[in-house]
Structure 1
Amino acid sequence: MTSKVISIVLGGGQGSRLSPLTATRSKPAVPIAGKYRLVDIPISNCLHSGITRIYVLTQFNSASLNKHIKNTYHFSSFSDAFVDILAAEQTPTSGAWFQGTADAVRQSLHHLAVHEFEYVLILSGDQLYQMDFDDMISKHIDAGAEISIATIPVDAADVPGFGILKTDSNSMVTAFIEKPKSNFESWASEVSDEMQAEGRVYLASMGIYIFNRKLLYELLEGNDRTDFGKEIIPQSITDHKVLSYQYEGYWTDIGTIPSFFDANLGLTDEIPKFNLFGENHIFTRARMLPPSKISGTLLNKSIVADGCIIQAKEITRSIIGIRTRIGVETSIENCYVMGSDNYQTLEQIAELKLTKSPIMGIGDRCKIKNAIIDKNTYIGDDVSINCGDLLPDGDYDTHTVQDGIVVVKKRAIIPNGTII
């Protein structure tokens, strides 16, 4: 059935909740797990499910995303498979930016018209999960549904953060409420015994949809509705067959700095909830980097990507991204270090050391805790980050602080001896 499906990955808006990581890149292009990009998650789920025609919609800071897609997803010349970027564009019928999820798809429908398909799978570009979309599509067809919504059971504490669905005994959606704050007890739905035992009895929309082609065109053309979650879905429940596809695996929305930080560090757990090592691995760019070289370092519950040169004293519960250089006697704890896009030459390093300037990476005798170090940063020797009293939230020249997490900005230069 997947041959009849086209997938659309929504790149999101300006990504302000992930700032400063989105200052120079779109949200789907944000690095995750040391070597991947966020957009690799939904694309990999599609490819493992047999869906090979994929559009990625974006409009902010799309250059690095375009480069990643171009360098990563190559298919046979004899195949109709593709992963293409659709950026917001001015046309004779529209000269505006995407105004929401539904508007983004509406403005892109003319690109889909050249293909033969019966179903459109709409995905978010900022979630971490592994799902078999082939099963979801089969359930959609078997139920005779016109729209399917992937849902995940949540407990009462999580309800105010989601759109909540009410279903009947056939898993058909009968009602929808957007982020209820109180008096939502009557919105409990039928869930598995395992979910019931955990108190997860409310079905939250995951922002993953399947639409029949004909209905999608009817719902989007000739009106100004801009959002699927707030307008299209609630207004479709009474007139169309809307199926809830219940998913009970690991799923998290990583659209904020704290959730992004927790999702990454969660990968260092002994048995992480998100499996990087299973059959459904994540596809990403093949960089042909050398193996990492580690000298005299105590590594504990950490992930080290390719091409690193590490002489640190210890690294604990951290992710070290590609091409990272870490100096001697440095301690890293609860950190995501994204790495670098290139290596400095020995001549460049020697020149910087003569002037006592930081070189790319993390210097000697540093202590860094609870931090995200963006790409291509220059952290000098004897730098201390987040090792003292709890820091107040704020945005500074070289870094920001959110909920106790220090985010060192891309290409920031932190001089020797700095204390943050």
Structure 2
Amino acid sequence: MRGGPSVLGIVLAGGEGKRLMPLTADRAKPAVTFGGTYRLVDFVLSNLVNAQVLRICVLTQYKSHSLDRHVTTTWRMSSLLGNYVTPVPAQQRLGPRWYLGSADAILQSLNLVHDEQPDLIAVFGADHVYRMDPRQMIERHVESGAGVTVAGIRVPRAEASQFGIISPAGDGTRVARFLEKPKEVEGLPDDPHRVFASMGNYVFTTKVLVDALHQDSEDDDSAHDMGGSILPMLTERGVAQVYDFQDNHVPGESASDHGYWRDVGTLDAYYDAHMDLVSERPAFHLDNRKWPIYTHPGQLPPARFVAGGIAGESIVGPGCVIRGQVTGSVLSPGVTVAEGAVVQGSVLHDNVRIGRGAVVRGAILDKNVDVPPGATIGVNPDRDAELYTVSGNGVIALGKGQRVE
């Protein structure tokens, strides 16, 4: 950040993503396609880069090949100015072990901090869909003099058990308590029906973070997790404050997508976030040119609609050829829909092929799935449950290249 404190960005991208299976069977969760042409990691990287945080380390671990390749081929910064976005795989720098948790991941990568010697460290998660200007959170952190500032989003009190919950002190900003997925919790003083859920985004004063990581590493009973270990430790010291995501505004935002944030860690959440994109009035706009989400554009021709093919309330990526009927769906590059085929309320990844007369409803098909002519998905629930992965809300998911019966 020019004219201000030096900031190193650390993106935590090493989780397994078990709840997003089968989409994570062959890739890390941050590498999962979203919105047709993006990867999940593109959202956090775009937010940081748009905010002029231009030195970023992406910590990876599980099944990271496609993620590493995407970061290295897409996120090329100006080396002349010393800027970079680089993947950093687990390297066992502190012994023959992989990352024990998100805090341990940073501990094992402290050589990055020592090399850069930043004033502040922005530690952000890699698998959420949102727009945010981290500069505003960083400025609030500097003004407050806090050791750590954690981004909080207001969620219904009834959903508190799904998140790490931040209880603010009487001043409304200092963190009084941090509770990991509590069953019961009081609402906010100014909004009793809502609570602050941690977004997994933190800004640390460098010395505070480094000292906390070393102390945590000596605790054999610790989970070595940023939210479950480091934040409660700093909360007890009285140096943690909350940043209300509702106060964050990005250029070009609309009234409808201000404050939009989705944790897409489950099939249902992933599917619902896609449906947010294709509604008549999208809850989240991908076309904000004042705060763009960047990705690799690929080298494919524009989509074609031939032989009477139509698509309504849908996103259709480049290289698609539509001869059938598509409604309320998101199609990644290279998808083909043959004559007489029907695709409704579905998410199709790269190079999916829908055969003549086939029907696909309420499904997520990973790349290279070939649906034969006349086949059906989402028509017979009992048959689908026998053959494919079906979420709690009935979304049908097929993994990469999975055979359709």
TM-score for both structures, normalised by structure 2: 0.90
1:42–1:125 contact (8 Å) kept in structure 2: yes
The one-letter code of the counterpart of 2:400 is K
Question: Where does residue 344 of structure 1 map in the other structure?
Answer: none
Distance change (3 Å), C-alpha of 1:393 and 1:210: farther
1:324-381, CA deviations, whole angstroms, 9 ceiling, x for partnerless residues? 11111000011000122xxxxxxxxxxxxxxxxxxx6111100110100100112211
In structure 1, distance between residues paired with 2:147 and 2:193: 27
In structure 2, distance between residues paired with 1:388 and 1:413: 17
The one-letter code of the counterpart of 1:160 is S
Question: Where does residue 352 of structure 1 map in the other structure?
Answer: none
2:378–2:384 contact (8 Å) kept in structure 1: no
- The answer to whether structure 1 residue 71 and structure 2 residue 69 are counterparts is no
TM-score for both structures, normalised by structure 1: 0.87
Deviation at 1:269, TM superposition (A): 1.4
Deviation at 1:392, TM superposition (A): 7.2
Deviation at 1:206, TM superposition (A): 1.1
Question: Which of 342, 346, 367 lines up with 1:335 in the alignment?
Answer: 346
1:174–1:237 contact (8 Å) kept in structure 2: yes
Question: Where does residue 282 of structure 2 map in the other structure?
Answer: 272
* Percent pairwise identity: 33
The one-letter code of the counterpart of 1:274 is F
1:228-283, CA deviations, whole angstroms, 9 ceiling, x for partnerless residues? 11111112112142111001201111111110111112110122222211121210
The one-letter code of the counterpart of 1:205 is S
Q: Partner of 1:262: helix, strand, or coil?
A: helix
Distance change (3 Å), C-alpha of 1:391 and 1:162: farther
Question: Where does residue 382 of structure 1 map in the other structure?
Answer: 374
1:61-108, CA deviations, whole angstroms, 9 ceiling, x for partnerless residues? 1111111111101122312111111111123x2221111111111111
Question: Where does residue 177 of structure 2 map in the other structure?
Answer: 175
In structure 2, distance between residues paired with 1:155 and 1:164: 11
Q: Which has the larger radius of gyration?
A: 1
Deviation at 1:155, TM superposition (A): 1.4
Question: Where does residue 16 of structure 1 map in the other structure?
Answer: 18
2:92–2:108 contact (8 Å) kept in structure 1: no
- The answer to whether structure 1 residue 362 and structure 2 residue 354 are counterparts is yes
- Map of 1:243-262 to 2, 5 A cutoff? 243-248=241-246, 249-262=259-272
Deviation at 1:393, TM superposition (A): 5.2
Question: Where does residue 60 of structure 1 map in the other structure?
Answer: 62
Question: Where does residue 118 of structure 1 map in the other structure?
Answer: 119
- Map of 1:221-236 to 2, 5 A cutoff? 221-222=214-215, 223-224=218-219, 225=222, 226-236=224-234
1:1-23, CA deviations, whole angstroms, 9 ceiling, x for partnerless residues? 46611111111422111111111
Question: Where does residue 256 of structure 2 map in the other structure?
Answer: none
In structure 2, distance between residues paired with 1:172 and 1:38: 31
Question: Where does residue 312 of structure 2 map in the other structure?
Answer: 300
The one-letter code of the counterpart of 1:252 is R
**Residue correspondences, number:** 382
In structure 1, distance between residues paired with 2:276 and 2:382: 22
User: RMSD value over aligned CA atoms?
Assistant: 1.7
Question: Where does residue 405 of structure 1 map in the other structure?
Answer: 395
1:308–1:323 contact (8 Å) kept in structure 2: yes
